[in-house]
Amino acid sequence: MPFGLKLLAPPSVEPVTVEIAKSHLRLEPAFTDDDALLGVYIMAARQYVEGHTHRAIYSQQWLMTLDYFPWYNFSGTAPTGSRSDAVLASFWRGLEIKLPKPTCVSVDLITYTDTDGNVVTVPPSAYCVDVVSEPARIVPIAGSFWPTAPQYLPGSVQITFTAGTYGDGVDVNNCPSTIRLAMLLLIAHWYEHREVVSEQALKQVPLAVDSLLESEMFTAFTLESN
Protein backbone atom coordinates (compact mmCIF):
# COMPACT_ATOMS: atom_id res chain seq x y z
CA MET A 1 0.00 0.00 0.00
CA PRO A 2 1.47 3.42 -0.93
CA PHE A 3 2.11 5.68 2.03
CA GLY A 4 3.47 9.09 2.94
CA LEU A 5 6.09 9.72 5.58
CA LYS A 6 7.00 12.99 7.29
CA LEU A 7 9.36 13.77 10.16
CA LEU A 8 7.56 15.67 12.91
CA ALA A 9 10.21 15.87 15.64
CA PRO A 10 13.92 15.04 15.16
CA PRO A 11 16.00 13.40 17.90
CA SER A 12 17.02 15.68 20.76
CA VAL A 13 20.70 14.65 20.61
CA GLU A 14 23.13 13.32 18.03
CA PRO A 15 25.16 10.07 18.31
CA VAL A 16 28.39 12.06 17.83
CA THR A 17 29.21 15.27 19.68
CA VAL A 18 31.22 18.18 18.33
CA GLU A 19 33.94 17.33 20.88
CA ILE A 20 34.26 13.75 19.63
CA ALA A 21 34.29 14.95 16.03
CA LYS A 22 37.09 17.39 16.87
CA SER A 23 39.10 14.62 18.50
CA HIS A 24 38.68 12.44 15.41
CA LEU A 25 39.77 15.33 13.18
CA ARG A 26 42.69 16.15 15.52
CA LEU A 27 41.42 19.67 16.09
CA GLU A 28 42.26 21.54 19.25
CA PRO A 29 39.31 21.79 21.66
CA ALA A 30 39.90 25.54 21.87
CA PHE A 31 39.42 25.90 18.12
CA THR A 32 35.75 26.84 17.76
CA ASP A 33 35.65 28.48 14.33
CA ASP A 34 34.21 25.36 12.68
CA ASP A 35 31.88 24.23 15.47
CA ALA A 36 28.75 25.24 13.57
CA LEU A 37 30.04 23.54 10.42
CA LEU A 38 30.80 20.37 12.36
CA GLY A 39 27.26 20.44 13.72
CA VAL A 40 25.94 20.42 10.16
CA TYR A 41 28.22 17.53 9.23
CA ILE A 42 27.16 15.56 12.31
CA MET A 43 23.48 15.93 11.49
CA ALA A 44 24.09 15.08 7.83
CA ALA A 45 26.11 12.00 8.83
CA ARG A 46 23.31 10.79 11.10
CA GLN A 47 20.76 11.35 8.32
CA TYR A 48 22.98 9.44 5.88
CA VAL A 49 23.26 6.52 8.30
CA GLU A 50 19.51 6.49 8.93
CA GLY A 51 18.81 6.60 5.20
CA HIS A 52 21.27 3.79 4.52
CA THR A 53 20.10 1.53 7.35
CA HIS A 54 16.41 2.53 7.06
CA ARG A 55 16.36 3.04 10.84
CA ALA A 56 15.73 5.82 13.30
CA ILE A 57 18.84 5.94 15.49
CA TYR A 58 17.43 7.89 18.43
CA SER A 59 13.79 8.57 19.35
CA GLN A 60 12.02 10.78 16.82
CA GLN A 61 8.40 11.30 15.90
CA TRP A 62 7.02 10.54 12.45
CA LEU A 63 3.73 10.89 10.61
CA MET A 64 2.68 8.10 8.26
CA THR A 65 -0.29 8.69 5.96
CA LEU A 66 -2.40 6.13 4.12
CA ASP A 67 -5.19 6.57 1.62
CA TYR A 68 -7.35 4.04 3.47
CA PHE A 69 -7.15 1.42 6.18
CA PRO A 70 -6.22 -2.13 5.14
CA TRP A 71 -9.22 -4.29 4.44
CA TYR A 72 -9.71 -7.93 3.65
CA ASN A 73 -11.92 -8.85 0.73
CA PHE A 74 -14.12 -11.74 1.75
CA SER A 75 -17.66 -13.00 1.34
CA GLY A 76 -19.86 -13.74 4.29
CA THR A 77 -18.57 -13.48 7.84
CA ALA A 78 -15.01 -13.33 9.07
CA PRO A 79 -13.53 -16.63 10.27
CA THR A 80 -13.58 -17.26 13.99
CA GLY A 81 -11.20 -19.00 16.32
CA SER A 82 -7.67 -18.54 17.54
CA ARG A 83 -5.37 -16.22 15.58
CA SER A 84 -2.56 -18.73 16.08
CA ASP A 85 -4.14 -21.00 13.49
CA ALA A 86 -2.27 -20.67 10.19
CA VAL A 87 -5.41 -20.12 8.12
CA LEU A 88 -6.83 -17.53 10.47
CA ALA A 89 -3.46 -15.81 10.77
CA SER A 90 -3.36 -15.45 7.00
CA PHE A 91 -6.76 -13.76 7.11
CA TRP A 92 -5.89 -11.33 9.90
CA ARG A 93 -2.49 -10.44 8.41
CA GLY A 94 -4.42 -8.72 5.64
CA LEU A 95 -5.44 -6.12 8.22
CA GLU A 96 -1.92 -5.30 9.42
CA ILE A 97 -0.44 -1.82 9.17
CA LYS A 98 3.35 -2.04 9.15
CA LEU A 99 5.44 0.91 10.28
CA PRO A 100 8.73 1.97 8.64
CA LYS A 101 11.71 3.44 10.53
CA PRO A 102 12.23 0.77 13.18
CA THR A 103 12.38 0.35 16.04
CA CYS A 104 8.89 1.53 17.01
CA VAL A 105 8.74 2.98 20.51
CA SER A 106 5.05 3.84 20.53
CA VAL A 107 2.04 4.56 18.35
CA ASP A 108 0.96 7.99 19.56
CA LEU A 109 -2.16 8.70 17.52
CA ILE A 110 -4.27 7.21 14.74
CA THR A 111 -6.86 9.39 12.99
CA TYR A 112 -8.86 9.30 9.79
CA THR A 113 -11.07 11.74 7.90
CA ASP A 114 -14.66 10.67 7.43
CA THR A 115 -16.91 11.56 4.49
CA ASP A 116 -18.10 14.74 6.22
CA GLY A 117 -14.53 16.02 6.54
CA ASN A 118 -14.34 15.35 10.27
CA VAL A 119 -11.09 14.07 11.76
CA VAL A 120 -11.89 11.03 13.88
CA THR A 121 -9.47 9.55 16.43
CA VAL A 122 -9.24 5.77 16.62
CA PRO A 123 -9.15 4.92 20.35
CA PRO A 124 -6.07 2.92 21.46
CA SER A 125 -8.45 0.31 22.87
CA ALA A 126 -9.54 -0.47 19.29
CA TYR A 127 -6.15 -1.74 18.09
CA CYS A 128 -3.07 -3.69 19.19
CA VAL A 129 0.56 -2.76 18.48
CA ASP A 130 3.49 -5.15 18.27
CA VAL A 131 6.52 -2.90 18.84
CA VAL A 132 8.93 -5.84 19.17
CA SER A 133 8.69 -6.99 15.57
CA GLU A 134 10.48 -5.14 12.78
CA PRO A 135 8.55 -3.64 11.17
CA ALA A 136 6.13 -2.92 14.00
CA ARG A 137 2.60 -4.08 13.27
CA ILE A 138 -0.76 -2.54 14.14
CA VAL A 139 -3.94 -4.62 13.93
CA PRO A 140 -7.53 -4.05 15.06
CA ILE A 141 -8.51 -5.90 18.22
CA ALA A 142 -9.70 -9.48 17.85
CA GLY A 143 -12.92 -9.82 15.95
CA SER A 144 -13.03 -6.24 14.68
CA PHE A 145 -11.96 -4.34 11.57
CA TRP A 146 -10.55 -0.96 10.65
CA PRO A 147 -13.01 1.88 9.93
CA THR A 148 -14.14 2.16 6.32
CA ALA A 149 -15.31 5.17 4.32
CA PRO A 150 -17.54 5.11 1.22
CA GLN A 151 -15.25 7.43 -0.72
CA TYR A 152 -11.55 7.59 -1.52
CA LEU A 153 -9.62 10.30 0.35
CA PRO A 154 -5.86 10.43 -0.29
CA GLY A 155 -3.87 10.68 2.94
CA SER A 156 -7.03 10.42 5.03
CA VAL A 157 -5.49 7.96 7.50
CA GLN A 158 -2.76 9.48 9.67
CA ILE A 159 -0.59 7.52 12.08
CA THR A 160 1.73 9.40 14.41
CA PHE A 161 4.41 7.20 15.92
CA THR A 162 7.74 7.45 17.75
CA ALA A 163 10.68 5.41 16.52
CA GLY A 164 14.18 4.91 17.89
CA THR A 165 16.26 1.76 17.57
CA TYR A 166 18.91 2.64 20.14
CA GLY A 167 16.97 4.63 22.73
CA ASP A 168 16.49 8.38 23.08
CA GLY A 169 20.22 9.09 23.33
CA VAL A 170 19.82 10.67 26.77
CA ASP A 171 18.31 8.26 29.29
CA VAL A 172 18.81 5.22 27.06
CA ASN A 173 21.74 5.09 24.67
CA ASN A 174 22.48 1.78 22.94
CA CYS A 175 23.95 3.22 19.75
CA PRO A 176 26.66 0.78 18.55
CA SER A 177 30.20 1.97 17.98
CA THR A 178 29.98 0.88 14.34
CA ILE A 179 27.42 3.61 13.68
CA ARG A 180 29.46 6.25 15.50
CA LEU A 181 32.60 5.27 13.59
CA ALA A 182 30.73 5.36 10.28
CA MET A 183 29.53 8.87 11.15
CA LEU A 184 33.04 9.98 12.08
CA LEU A 185 34.39 8.71 8.76
CA LEU A 186 31.71 10.65 6.92
CA ILE A 187 32.34 13.80 8.96
CA ALA A 188 36.08 13.60 8.28
CA HIS A 189 35.49 13.00 4.58
CA TRP A 190 33.21 16.03 4.23
CA TYR A 191 35.41 18.23 6.41
CA GLU A 192 38.54 17.48 4.41
CA HIS A 193 36.88 17.55 0.97
CA ARG A 194 34.53 20.50 1.31
CA GLU A 195 35.48 22.42 -1.85
CA VAL A 196 32.87 21.86 -4.56
CA VAL A 197 35.22 22.52 -7.45
CA SER A 198 38.20 20.55 -6.18
CA GLU A 199 39.15 17.18 -7.60
CA GLN A 200 39.12 15.70 -4.10
CA ALA A 201 35.50 16.72 -3.60
CA LEU A 202 34.55 14.28 -6.32
CA LYS A 203 35.73 11.33 -4.23
CA GLN A 204 33.05 8.92 -3.16
CA VAL A 205 32.04 8.29 0.42
CA PRO A 206 34.59 5.94 2.04
CA LEU A 207 33.72 2.31 1.35
CA ALA A 208 34.29 1.45 5.01
CA VAL A 209 31.15 3.42 5.92
CA ASP A 210 28.75 1.07 4.15
CA SER A 211 30.63 -1.96 5.48
CA LEU A 212 30.30 -0.71 9.05
CA LEU A 213 26.57 -0.17 8.59
CA GLU A 214 25.83 -3.49 6.94
CA SER A 215 25.09 -5.32 10.21
CA GLU A 216 22.60 -2.62 11.27
CA MET A 217 20.61 -2.45 8.04
CA PHE A 218 16.88 -3.07 8.05
CA THR A 219 15.74 -4.37 4.67
CA ALA A 220 12.38 -6.05 5.35
CA PHE A 221 10.16 -3.05 4.64
CA THR A 222 8.99 -2.15 1.15
CA LEU A 223 5.98 -0.43 -0.33
CA GLU A 224 4.50 -3.89 -0.77
CA SER A 225 4.88 -4.68 2.93
CA ASN A 226 1.38 -3.38 3.63
For 40-59, what is each residue's pLDDT tens digit? 999 999 999 999 999 999 99
- Would strands 127-130 and 119-121 be described as parallel, antiparallel, or unpaired? unpaired
State how far the alpha carbon of 157 is from the alpha carbons of 3, 26, 104, 130, 152, in Å. Answer: 10, 50, 18, 19, 11
What are the structural domains, with CATH classification, of the chain? 3-58+168-225 (1.10.3230.30), 64-162 (no CATH)
For 162-217, what is each residue's pLDDT tens digit? 999 999 999 999 999 999 999 999 999 999 887 655 555 555 677 789 899 998 99
Q: What does the pLDDT read at residue 58?
A: 98
CA angle, residues 203, 205, 211, in degrees to nearest 5: 140
Burial class (CB within 10 angstroms; exposed 0-12, middle 13-18, buried 19+) of 133: middle
The whole-angstrom separation of Cα 11 and Cα 175 is: 13
More confident residue, 209 or 149: 209
